[in-house]
């Protein structure tokens, strides 16, 4: 079968690979849609060394085969892939944090050592069945493919110190930023402010939970303080992961506030830690999610409490994937979420 493969820095090819077969504890899933994530673009630009060189982790599919030791999914189940629930025995798993388990951190689907092919930019994916979350009845292909990034945002809000009624600033309105704004609102934020330079992304931010949308600039700090009795926001989420957005996040929160780092950075950032110290800020970080969180997010989407479909702004075929990744890398394409139909023409 044909699959998308990163073969080096700025090299993305459609290659022929064998169709996967399930191991005793594995499953084979037929992919319906797989979203292009910002990390896929980072991997393409920087030539990340994927163990299988196949990527794509924001997918929905149908289980078409299972191993003889699998009991958590059945053929015909609609599923999405997440991190493994962990070994169940280490101190992290026992404490209820399976995402910190070494296998969980290492084996993220589309980014781990499962036998090739293990990425969602292919008609079929083979992986350990423990990584699968069964989706609720009524979920659409687009909704299901967006469970993964929505779960990232959902986890970030849970990681932060956000409380009901808080004033929240989300810096960066890419897919994760838009979803973080919506999850923050769902968690009871009293006011959600989104900061984003791109006018097209600013224009849709109110559809995803933003109460106010600002362009970054010299007046930003004054604007936020004017809304908060001169204090600043309670919580800021850095959803862009660049030095400027980290600085902005620190600047926009009040003394004693918190900043949650959500965006994945690809370059070092210089930070004046004295600003953290003098404001007594709490800095939290967030990466990925748990299977339990993904299951909860899927239900919230189906119930209509999380609205995610507007993120989807186009679908491409496998043949169109290399040029689409390149357009994202050069910023000639700024669509929030393009999805790949690996069985399409």
Express each pLDDT in 258-296 by its tens digit. Answer: 999 998 776 777 777 888 889 999 999 998 888 889 999
Question: Within the chain, which residue ranges are assigned CATH 3.40.50.720?
Answer: 161-285
CB 170 within 8 A of CB 141: no
Question: Within the chain, which residue ranges are assigned CATH 3.90.180.10?
Answer: 2-148+289-341
What pLDDT, on the 0 to 100 scale, is given for residue 239?
94
* Residue 334 in this model has a pLDDT that exceeds 70: yes
* Residue 114 in this model has a pLDDT that exceeds 80: no
Percent of the chain topping pLDDT 70: 91
* Residue 162 in this model has a pLDDT that exceeds 90: yes
Q: Which CATH architecture has domain 2-148+289-341?
A: Alpha-Beta Complex (3.90)
What pLDDT, on the 0 to 100 scale, is given for residue 265?
73
Evaluate the omega torsion of the peptide bond into residue 155 and state whether it is cis, within 30 degrees of 0. Answer: no
256, 204, 247, 207: which is closest to 228 by C-alpha? 256
Average of pLDDT values for 63-81? 96
Least confident residue range of 38-47, 57-66, 194-203: 38-47
Q: Please, which pLDDT band fits residue 44 given cuts at 50, 70 and 90?
A: confident
Which CATH number does 161-285 carry?
A: 3.40.50.720
Cβ neighbours of residue 149 under 8 Å, at least 6 residues apart? 35, 37, 58, 175, 176, 179, 311, 337
Task: Give the β-pairing of 26-35 and 78-81.
Answer: unpaired
Contacts within 8 Å (CB) and 24+ apart, 5-8: 5/53, 5/54, 5/55, 6/43, 6/44, 6/47, 6/48, 6/50, 6/53, 6/55, 7/53, 8/47
Top pLDDT among 106 and 261 is at: 261
What pLDDT, on the 0 to 100 scale, is given for residue 55?
83
* Residue 110 in this model has a pLDDT that exceeds 60: no
CA dist 278 and 111 (Å) reads: 39
In sequence order, what are the beta bridge partners of 317?
341
- pTM (2 decimals)? 0.92
Which helix (H) or strand (E) element contains residue 136? none
Radius of gyration of the chain (CA): 20
CB 153 within 8 A of CB 55: no
What pLDDT, on the 0 to 100 scale, is given for residue 69?
96
């Amino acid at each position: 079968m044909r699959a998308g493969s990163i073969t080096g820095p700025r090299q993305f090819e459609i290659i022929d690979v064998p169709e996967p077969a399930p191991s005793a504890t594995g499953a084979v899933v037929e992919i319906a849609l797989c979203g292009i994530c910002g990390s896929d673009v980072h991997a393409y630009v920087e030539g990340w060394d994927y163990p299988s060189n196949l990527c794509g982790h924001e997918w929905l599919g149908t289980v078409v085969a299972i191993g003889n030791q699998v009991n958590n999914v059945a053929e015909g189940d609609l599923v999405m892939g997440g991190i493994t629930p962990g070994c169940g025995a280490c101190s992290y798993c026992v404490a209820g944090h399976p995402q910190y388990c070494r296998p969980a951190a290492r084996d993220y689907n589309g980014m781990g050592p499962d036998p090739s092919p293990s990425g969602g930019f292919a008609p079929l994916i083979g992986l350990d069945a423990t990584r699968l979350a069964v989706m609720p009845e009524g979920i659409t292909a687009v909704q299901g493919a967006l469970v993964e990034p929505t779960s990232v945002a959902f986890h970030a809000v849970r990681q932060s110190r956000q409380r009901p009624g808080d004033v929240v600033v989300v810096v960066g309105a890419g897919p994760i930023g838009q979803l973080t704004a919506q999850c923050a609102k769902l968690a009871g934020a009293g006011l959600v402010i989104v900061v984003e330079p791109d006018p097209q992304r600013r224009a849709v931010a109110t559809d995803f939970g933003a109460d106010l949308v600002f362009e970054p600039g010299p007046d930003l700090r004054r604007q936020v303080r004017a809304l908060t009795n001169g204090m600043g926001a309670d919580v800021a989420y850095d959803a862009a992961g660049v030095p400027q957005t980290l600085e902005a996040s620190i600047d926009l929160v009040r003394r004693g506030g918190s900043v949650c780092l959500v965006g994945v950075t690809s370059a070092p950032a210089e930070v004046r830690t004295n600003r953290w110290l003098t404001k007594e800020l709490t800095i939290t970080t967030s990466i990925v999610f748990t299977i339990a969180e993904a299951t909860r997010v899927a239900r919230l989407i189906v119930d209509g409490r999380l609205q995610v479909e507007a993120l989807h702004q186009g679908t491409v075929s496998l043949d169109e994937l290399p040029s689409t990744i390149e357009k994202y890398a050069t910023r000639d394409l700024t669509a929030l979420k393009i999805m790949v139909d690996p069985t399409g023409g």
